[in-house]
Amino acid sequence: MPSSKVCLTFVASVALGACQPSAMAPTTKPPALAPINVNSTVTTPTALKEIPPASNSGATRPFPTIATANLSNGLALDVIERHSMPVVQLSLVVAAGHARDANHPGAARVLAQLLEAGGAGPWTSEKLRETVDALGSSLDIVSTRDNLRWSLAVTADKVPDALAILSALAQKPHFDRKEFLKLKGRELERVRSLAKTSGGWLAQYWLHRELYRQPMGIHPYASVDVLPSEVERLGLDDCREFYRAHIVPKNSRIMAVGAVDLTTLTREVEKAFGMWTSHDAPDDGLAEPSSTEELKVFVIDRPGSAQSDLLLGLLGPSRREAEFPSIMAIQQILGGGVAGRLFLDIREKRSLAYSTYAGVQEVAAGPSVLTLSAGTQTQKTAEAASALLEHFDRIATDPGTLQELETAQNYIVRGMPARWETVESLSSQLLLLRTQNQSERYFDDLREQVTSLSTVVLHEPATRYFQRRHATLVVAGDASKIAESLRPLGPVEILDPEREFSIKHKLSAK
């Protein structure tokens, strides 16, 4: 069994915050739309003034207590005690990811793997893997736009040994050039393959590029992955530069979930990390992205493709905004599963897509991204696109019946405790809280907020966010067969993914 596995995600945690396990697989969770008129009012028909649903009393178990501490060098510690089994999930988390790559796209992704693959401290690459295996564990490496994370699950008596490994990765990586070239080659192969075979990846890439486009350049969150040409330009010194700037105690934390207490962990972390020197990590801030003022339609040309991947997205509220619970419920109603409108209509009733979904994609700072997606046959592309927009428009004026809302509430609220049943899943929830700068009361407050929603309450955020002029539609498919049919939706730009998404042709609206 391999001693490490890598999770390279290009979205932050979704809905209630699970990490996507596939390597750069296109996610199906949505972004968010910037508010337009905060003071706008919505006239609510009398028939919609329903009595709020009864409280969901079945999922009231509170989120576990988080014990915290800080070393003198600034390294933060979080502990959630779970003593039912003698297992501890240990994570070293650095609050910098792909969004901090700056002029060296791909540096964070490759660095996350290189710290292990190149060897660290007293261990060569091979010996490091053998040491991890000897602990009966595996090293999980996760890379997102906002975080880099290295995790080990070990028995309680092996905590000092696991911390020694994490400490070596952070403080004494070897930066082996041979291993760097291997990783770079694999990374190049990965993105070349995705660019050729995955319409979903292409659609995700361009959607975020458009939603985060700035008047004076590209927003750091615009890059959900790297292009082959960017990987080719990446050098070992770029990874060293990212390491020196961002992997420092003041920008890092140790998270532990399981059979360990704060006093014990603090003592052991002090031994392993106490001599780690620190400086302030650079933080240039992140500009607020702005919404579009007309529906944009893009076709990413995939000649000969028998299918099309559609992604409709816009900017929405962050998890820290008051509207977020309502948007969670609305997106669940719209397409969160087999009870969602998209599934029941577009897939089941009209057979326009073999998959369809709505979700929320989150980042540490700024708005989320709300998405509606569908995968369909080439000949059904225009109908599927129109159907997505039809439901997008409908949700603005009809965000949910009482039954739809109750179904969404039950899914969100009753699913919460399951997300902190295991040390691994609970660690992911803890990371979500830290990434989003939330208190340990957040999930308990969210449960109450979602439970108290009514169909009337949903109308204002639905009307405010779901406006077609703020949306972008990206379709990856055979342009020769689908572009013309999309012109009734608006002007269409056809892009060439083999030439870094350069414009091949523009079609006017029909």
Domain 296-507 class?
alpha beta
With contact defined as beta carbons under 8 Å apart, do 396 and 466 qualify? Answer: yes
- Find the mean pLDDT for residues 15-30: 34
CB 362 within 8 A of CB 20: no
| Residues 319, 354: Cα–Cα separation, whole Å | 30
Query: What is the mean pLDDT of the segment spanning 203-213?
Result: 94
Kindly list the domain boundaries of the chain, sorted by start residue. Answer: 66-273, 296-507
pLDDT tens digits for range 55-99: 444 456 789 999 999 999 999 999 999 999 899 999 999 999 999
| The predicted structure's pLDDT at residue 29 | 36
Whether the CA torsion 314, 319, 325, 331 is positive or negative: it is positive
Beta bridge partners of 154: 88
Over residues 451-506, the pLDDT tens digits come to 999 999 999 999 999 999 999 999 999 999 999 999 999 999 999 999 999 999 99
Cβ-contact 361, 398 below 8 angstroms = no
Judge whether 66-273 and 296-507 match in fold. yes
Exposure b/e, 12-48, CB count within 10 A at least 16 = b: bbbbbbebbeeebbbbbbbbbbbbeeeeeeeeeeeeb
* Span of 159-163, 399-403, 414-418 with lowest mean pLDDT: 414-418
* Cα 252 to Cα 120: distance, rounded to the nearest angstrom: 18
pLDDT tier, 51 (very low <50, low <70, confident <90, very high otherwise): very low
Cα(349)–Cα(390) distance, rounded to whole angstroms? 15
Per-residue pLDDT band for 398 (boundaries 50, 70, 90) equals very high
Question: What are the strands, taking DSSP E only, across 58-126?
Answer: 67-70, 76-81, 87-94
Q: Report CA-CA distances (Å) from 419 to 18, 415, 427.
A: 8, 7, 10
Tokens found for residue 390: 């039809």
Residues 107/234, Cβ–Cβ less than 8 Å: yes
pLDDT given at position 199: 97
Q: What is the pLDDT of residue 81?
A: 96
CA-based nearest residue to 167, from 107, 105, 252, 109:
252
- What span, in angstroms and rounded, lies between the C-alpha atoms of 15 and 44? 28
CA distance 490 to 348: 27
Cβ-contact 210, 474 below 8 angstroms: yes
Q: How far apart are CA 161 and CA 139, in angstroms?
A: 13
The separation between the first and the last C-alpha atoms of the chain, rounded to the nearest angstrom, is: 57
Phi-psi region of 13 (alpha: psi -120 to 50; beta: other; left: phi over 0): beta
What gap in Å lies between CA 47 and CA 53, rounded to an integer? 15
Residue with tokens 């979205």: 11
Burial annotation 382-399 (CB, 10 A radius, 16+ → b, else e): bbbbebbbebbeebbebb
User: Cα dist. 161→8, 39, 123, 259, 269 in Å?
Assistant: 26, 57, 13, 15, 11
On the question of pLDDT at 13 being above 80, the answer is no
- Of the pLDDT bands very low, low, confident and very high (cuts 50, 70, 90), residue 10 is very low
Percent of the chain with pLDDT over 90: 78
Which of 43-57, 156-170, 282-296, 313-327 comes out lowest in average pLDDT? 43-57
Distances (CA, A) of 421 to 10, 47, 67, 171, 261: 25, 41, 18, 32, 18
Would you say residue 17 has pLDDT above 60? no
In CATH terms, is domain 66-273 a member of 3.30.1360.120?
no
Report which of 355, 25, 385 is spatially closest to residue 205, judged by C-alpha positions: 25
Q: Note the pLDDT tens digit of each residue in 256-308.
A: 999 999 999 999 999 999 999 988 988 767 778 888 889 999 999 999 999 99
Task: Name the residue among 254, 286, 282, 256 with its Cα closest to residue 364.
Answer: 286
Residue 190 has pLDDT above 80, yes or no: yes
The number of helix segments (H) and strand segments (E) in the chain equals 16, 16
Helical ranges in 357-397 per DSSP H: 381-397
